[in-house]
Amino acid sequence: MRLYRFVWITLFLSGLALSACAPAAATPSAPANTAAPQSQPTATDAALAPSVTAADPALPTATAAKPLAPDQDPYPTSAAPTLQPTLPAATVSELPDASLFVWAPFSSGLTRPTDLADVGGGRLLVLEQPGLVRVVENGTLLPQPFLDIRDRVGSGGNEQGLLGIALHPRYAENGQFFLNYTNLNGDTTVSRFSASGGSADPGSEQILLTVNQPYANHNGGSLAFGPDGYLYIGMGDGGSAGDPQNYGQDMGALLGKLLRIHVDAGDPYAIPADNPYADGSGGRAEIWASGLRNPWRFSFDRATGDLYIGDVGQNAWEEIDFQAAGTPGGVNFGWRYREAANPYSDGQPPAGLALTDPVAQYPHSEGCSVTGGFVYRGAALPELNGVYLYGDYCNGRVWGLLRLADGSWQNRTMFETGAFLSSFGQDASGELYALDQRAGALLVLRRAE
Ligand SMILES: [Ca+2]
Ligand SMILES: [Ca+2]
């Protein structure tokens, strides 16, 4: 089992064609928070060869229509960002005793689950990496998929496939949801789909954005609507290792960025007026933040609107980045000048270039690939109110991170789940789930008996 885990991790990091290399019936690790700590993987993606799935290493270009004039009328939401965010009164003042809680089995039978969304009525949509959207109803996996787009999803590489979902803020009225997947060419695709009557028609797809991916790995994959009503898209640096084309710092590239678009205006979208390069001068208009290596998972605190990004590191450090709600775009999170808060490339940043270090980091003695999570805002576990939970894909460890009233951070290991943590999920009431990619299972965070 330990050897198998090592092989799996090596494959994950290498972005190889997993389906050709790994046995389909490998035994998953048991999802329980009492699992013993795993041996620390030593594999890194430093020796990656470029993928054969991408033929064109040229500067990626979006194939979306030319962005329209900056939109002055952002989609209104009831949760407008606060310019001077304050912590909700219910936020706890310290990290709680982890033994109060347990990651309990919730559902199983899934194939490489990658993301989750709550559509109400006890139904969770769960993405399967090969291209199915499944329905888990009150913990039971339904046989009929919600959507099947396996015909257009390329999932040969371990970081490729159907990767992210975001429901439109008015999903209950318009049935719109958004998916992020790598297509049959390995290129990032962000599309709008429409649901009705408990399922979605593959023919309803409207492609918003396609970004050329020069290598099979580092595709990002997350989607989330911010408190401003705009859709944020996490883009990795394109792949290989060490960001050989320096996309993270190239404002002419969409790779290595967090993008921000307005999906309710324009054709197929509009650029928010306060994007840092909204007029197209100095950088691509879709860019919100830069200097990211592989922001596999990011989320917004549903109470404050604060942004948390889990940015996967190279050989040594994993990091959590933070942007307070209401602060301007244009933050540069440092890659490849820095790996987390540590120097990476031999080049020095130019004078005057401000880089923003993470609020938490951990070395590869404690994991190997960070999976960003969520700030807990549910009702069942008030001791966790305001705690950001995040994990490591390779060893299943889960940390708690808490922003204290004075702006400092408390960070501590809380759980050893033993899961291959591909993602965390949040339901409509704010309760949290963990997705075990290898076991095909969902775990739910509950109070220990
Ligand atoms: Ca890539
Ligand atoms: Ca960074």
Sequence length of the chain is: 449
For ligand 2, the distance from its centroid to the CA atom of residue 335, given in whole angstroms, is 5
Strands 331-332 and 287-290: parallel
Ligand that comes closest to the CA of residue 60? 1
For ligand 1, the distance from its centroid to the CA atom of residue 81, given in whole angstroms, is 32
Q: How many helices (H) and strands (E) does the chain have?
A: 3, 29
Q: What is the pLDDT of residue 54?
A: 31
Give the separation between CA 62 and CA 281, rounded to whole angstroms.
16
pLDDT tens column, 78-133: 333 334 445 566 899 999 999 999 999 999 999 999 999 999 999 999 999 999 99
Strands 223-225 and 231-234: antiparallel
Peptide bond into 67 cis (omega under 30): no
Q: What is the pLDDT of residue 148?
A: 98
For ligand 1, the distance from its centroid to the CA atom of residue 187, given in whole angstroms, is 7
Q: What is the pLDDT of residue 6?
A: 43
Ligand that comes closest to the CA of residue 312? 2
Q: Which amino acid is at 443?
A: L
Q: Where are the beta strands (DSSP E) in 62-211?
A: 101-107, 113-120, 123-128, 132-137, 140-141, 147-148, 162-167, 176-182, 188-196, 199-200, 206-211
**CATH T-level assignment (fold) for domain 2-41+69-447:** Neuraminidase (2.120.10)
For ligand 1, the distance from its centroid to the CA atom of residue 44, given in whole angstroms, is 16
**Nearest one of 258, 304, 318 to 407, comparing CA atoms:** 304
Give the separation between CA 53 and CA 185, rounded to whole angstroms.
6
Q: Which amino acid is at 355?
A: L
**Nearest one of 337, 395, 336 to 364, comparing CA atoms:** 395
DSSP 210: E
Q: What is the pLDDT of residue 10?
A: 42
Give the separation between CA 412 and CA 425, rounded to whole angstroms.
20
Output the 3-class SS for 331-370: EECCCCCEECCEECCCCCCCCCCCCCCCCEEEECCCCCCE
Give the separation between CA 44 and CA 30, rounded to whole angstroms.
25
Give the separation between CA 421 and CA 418, rounded to whole angstroms.
9
Q: What is the pLDDT of residue 83?
A: 42
Residue 57 three-state SS: coil
Peptide bond into 336 cis (omega under 30): yes
Q: Find all residues with CB under 8 Å of 66, minimum gap 6, and list them.
A: none
CA dihedral 255, 411, 45, 314 (to 10 degrees): 60
Residue 3 three-state SS: helix
Ligand that comes closest to the CA of residue 313? 2
The residue extents of the domains of the chain are: 2-41+69-447
Give the separation between CA 209 and CA 191, rounded to whole angstroms.
7
Give the separation between CA 291 and CA 435, rounded to whole angstroms.
27
Give the separation between CA 277 and CA 258, rounded to whole angstroms.
13
Instruction: Give the sign of the dihedral formed by CA 65, CA 308, CA 194, CA 157.
Output: positive
DSSP 92: -
For ligand 1, the distance from its centroid to the CA atom of residue 71, given in whole angstroms, is 30
For ligand 1, the distance from its centroid to the CA atom of residue 118, given in whole angstroms, is 28
For ligand 1, the distance from its centroid to the CA atom of residue 293, given in whole angstroms, is 11
Give the separation between CA 382 and CA 430, rounded to whole angstroms.
11
Give the other-Cβ count within 10 Å of 55's Cβ: 11
Q: Which amino acid is at 109?
A: G
For ligand 2, the distance from its centroid to the CA atom of residue 28, given in whole angstroms, is 32
Ligand that comes closest to the CA of residue 311? 2
Q: What is the pLDDT of residue 89?
A: 60
For ligand 2, the distance from its centroid to the CA atom of residue 337, given in whole angstroms, is 8
For ligand 2, the distance from its centroid to the CA atom of residue 374, given in whole angstroms, is 19
Q: What is the pLDDT of residue 88?
A: 65
Are the C-beta atoms of residues 260 and 222 closer than 8 Å to each other?
A: no
Low-confidence ranges of the chain (pLDDT < 70): 1-89
Q: What is the pLDDT of residue 43?
A: 34
Q: What is the pLDDT of residue 273?
A: 98
